[in-house]
Amino acid sequence: MFTRLAFVLFLIATPFAARAWTEDVRCVQAQLNAAGRDAGPVDGIVGPRTLAALQAQLAVGGVTGGHDLTRDTAATWCRRLGQADPALRAFWPSRSNPVIVRTGESVDPVLGRLIRVRLPSLHRQVAETLGVELSATDRVFVGSSIDELRTMILESHDHRPIYNLDGALNDHCREGDRIGAFATPGVMVVCVQQGTRLRIDLDYSTLVFVLTHEATHLVQFQMTGLPQPRIAPDLRVRYEGPMWLLEGLADVMGHSIAYRAEPAEVRALAARRYDGRDLPYLGRLQTRVDLLSRQADVYRAGMLASAILVEARGFAAAGRVFSLMGEGREFAGAFYDVYGRTPVAFYAAFPDEARPQGTPSGPAITNRPPKG
Output the tens digit of pLDDT for each of the chain's 372 residues: 345 566 554 444 443 443 457 899 999 999 999 999 999 999 999 999 999 999 999 998 788 888 999 999 999 999 999 999 999 999 999 999 999 999 999 999 999 999 999 999 999 999 999 999 999 999 999 999 999 999 999 998 888 888 789 888 998 998 878 999 999 999 999 999 998 898 888 999 999 999 999 999 999 999 998 887 778 888 999 999 999 999 999 999 999 999 999 999 999 999 999 998 999 999 999 999 999 999 999 999 999 999 999 999 999 999 999 999 999 999 999 999 999 999 999 999 999 999 755 544 444 444 444 343
Specify whether 133 is located in the same domain as 194: yes
Considering 166, 195, 224, which residue would you say is the last residue of a domain?
A: 224
Specify whether 190 is located in the same domain as 73: no
Contacts of 261 (CB under 8 A, 6+ apart): 255, 269, 362, 363, 364
Specify whether 27 is located in the same domain as 9: no
Amino acid sitting at position 260:
R
Specify whether 8 is located in the same domain as 148: yes
CA separation, residue 370 to residues 99, 255, 328 (Å):
28, 15, 34
Q: CB of 152 within 8 A of CB of 143? A: yes
Q: CB of 270 within 8 A of CB of 304? A: yes
In a domain, 147, yes or no: yes
Specify whether 209 is located in the same domain as 254: no
As a whole number of angstroms, the distance between CA 72 and CA 284 comes to 26
Specify whether 160 is located in the same domain as 198: yes
Specify whether 240 is located in the same domain as 296: yes
As a whole number of angstroms, the distance between CA 184 and CA 217 comes to 8
Considering 71, 94, 117, which residue would you say is the last residue of a domain?
A: 94
In a domain, 274, yes or no: yes
pLDDT at 359: 44
In a domain, 371, yes or no: no
Q: How many domains does the chain have?
A: 3
- What sections of 225-355 are H helices per DSSP? 233-240, 243-258, 263-272, 288-293, 295-313, 315-326, 331-339, 343-354
As a whole number of angstroms, the distance between CA 282 and CA 269 comes to 18
In a domain, 18, yes or no: no
Q: CB of 7 within 8 A of CB of 180? A: no
In a domain, 369, yes or no: no
Q: Residue 150: which domain range?
A: 4-13+97-224
Amino acid sitting at position 14:
T
Specify whether 8 is located in the same domain as 125: yes
As a whole number of angstroms, the distance between CA 334 and CA 328 comes to 9
Considering 166, 201, 224, which residue would you say is the last residue of a domain?
A: 224
In a domain, 323, yes or no: yes
As a whole number of angstroms, the distance between CA 115 and CA 38 comes to 42
Angle ∠(83,86,90) on CA atoms, nearest 5: 105
Specify whether 217 is located in the same domain as 239: no
Specify whether 256 is located in the same domain as 155: no
pLDDT at 86: 96
Specify whether 173 is located in the same domain as 36: no
Question: How would you label 323-341 residue by residue, b for 16+ Cβ within 10 Å and e otherwise?
Answer: bbbbbbbebebbbbebbee
In a domain, 372, yes or no: no
In a domain, 368, yes or no: no
pLDDT at 3: 56
Specify whether 181 is located in the same domain as 292: no
